[in-house]
Chains A and B, each alone.
Chain A
């Protein structure tokens, strides 16, 4: 980084090259006992169960041996079905959720079999700042003992073939097999609107994780 002009300016940052003025607090693992605090009774329900149009995403969190991770926490964040966020930093304007009770955020601890379940609505597609469109997706954070920082992934939908093909985040992942780890599966024989998304933390068919 080059040396910045010596003339002081209002609001000018002080560290001459870097951008940060206060050093941030490091991450640490949630450890094995997150269940005494983080699960909420309504956590898995981004919308109340039974909401018209609701979908369910279930899956397992698995370790390097393919064994279930029974002490993880899965969190999701997403747009509503009209592509809106009820948030002031959305430059299109904060959108009141089109469906009453939609929270955008889901949180579910894994059970003894490593399973989680999120009940939500299908998010709409999103415009990209650089042009183009992001396919419908959920951002996902996974926390667990053995993870010193959360790991971040995305859930895309298997029946959005065209939108997924045009999605710039998916397109940046060169290997098709790796890309495929971000696409949920339909549940064979399951009711419509049910999807499966397993999260393989390490090893064979490892899920793609992002540096956010």
Chain B
């Protein structure tokens, strides 16, 4: 993949745009047409909670180009395996979810905290507010975390979450998904998203999945089944790369100027 070589070439070589006053800051170009519009009426709760006023552009200055670098003290190796934290094994299809965290310049994002949470195999969250008539699993709490390695790689072992109904509209069902929270290295890169599974029949009726306007961008939320990642007689393998905002403009301008 060309992105890998590109990332390797640039890894650790941040280029900066020289500003006035001697402060040279990285820039994170704003993605256009990728994220869902906050005001998405098909997803009903947006009408109670999403701002009506237009967002005000915020320059990328010191607070924005820095961010929390949360380290190993928050994570143990056991946190990446959601199937071995209780007395017994959880019910459901055991799966491996693995991939890389990259920025849009193709650089791996190493040592960054990933937090995930999900429903159990029956489509029920281990949360008091979830009143879906499906069983809880005493051997599954649905929360995991890990740090990416030096190449931006992560790997979780979990069980495949079930679909579940919700009250957005009559007969509304969420496609199976795993919530992912990522920090990157700058405030600008913070991302919370959801990973979906390939071929889910529930995509078309789901206003959250469909809130992403570009169909190609929607596909980037869907993991890929991979037989090579699948461990015989043990677990199905899925691969999902996550791409955070990068510092493309800074690289671009530096290249043009040299």
Instruction: Give the interface of A toward B (CB within 8 A).
Output: 4, 9, 11-14, 19-38, 40, 63-65, 69, 71, 75, 77-79, 85-87, 89-92, 103-105, 126-131, 134, 137, 139, 141, 143-152, 154, 168-169, 172-173, 178, 201-203, 206-212
Contacts and interface: CB of A to CB of B under 8 A. Distances in A.
B58 A77 contact: no
B50 A22 contact: no
Residue with the greatest number of chain B CB neighbours at <10 A, chosen from A20, A131, A145, A178: A20
A148 B208 contact: yes
Contact of A127 (B21, B59, B60, B130): B21
Interface string B99-141: 0001111100000000111000000011101100000000001
Interface stretch (B87-95, B230-238, B240-248): B240-248
B104 A20 contact: yes
Interface on chain A toward B: helix, strand, loop, or mixed SS? loop
A62 B61 CA distance: 28
Given A34-B179, A85-B62, 10 more contacts: A14-B2, A19-B251, A24-B34, A24-B220, A36-B127, A64-B48, A71-B129, A78-B63, A131-B21, A212-B60
Interface of B: 2-3, 6, 9-10, 14, 16, 19-26, 29-31, 34-38, 40, 43, 45-53, 55-70, 74, 102-106, 115-117, 125-127, 129-130, 141-145, 177, 179, 181, 185-188, 190-194, 208-209, 211-212, 216-218, 220-221, 242-246, 248-249, 251-252, 255-256
Residue with the greatest number of chain A CB neighbours at <10 A, chosen from B3, B29, B58, B216: B58
Given A21-B106, A22-B102, A37-B143, A127 B23 contact: yes
Nearest to A208: B56
A149 B130 CA distance: 22
Nearest to A203: B52
Contact of A89 (B6, B65, B181): B65
B190 to A, nearest CB: 6
Nearest to B248: A19
A38 B190 contact: no
A23 B243 contact: yes
29 contacts: A14-B2, A20-B105, A20-B248, A21-B105, A21-B246, A23-B34, A23-B217, A24-B243, A25-B191, A25-B242, A28-B211, A29-B194, A32-B130, A69-B49, A79-B62, A85-B63, A85-B66, A139-B64, A146-B48, A146-B50, A148-B40, A148-B46, A148-B208, A149-B36, A172-B57, A202-B49, A208-B53, A209-B51, A211-B56
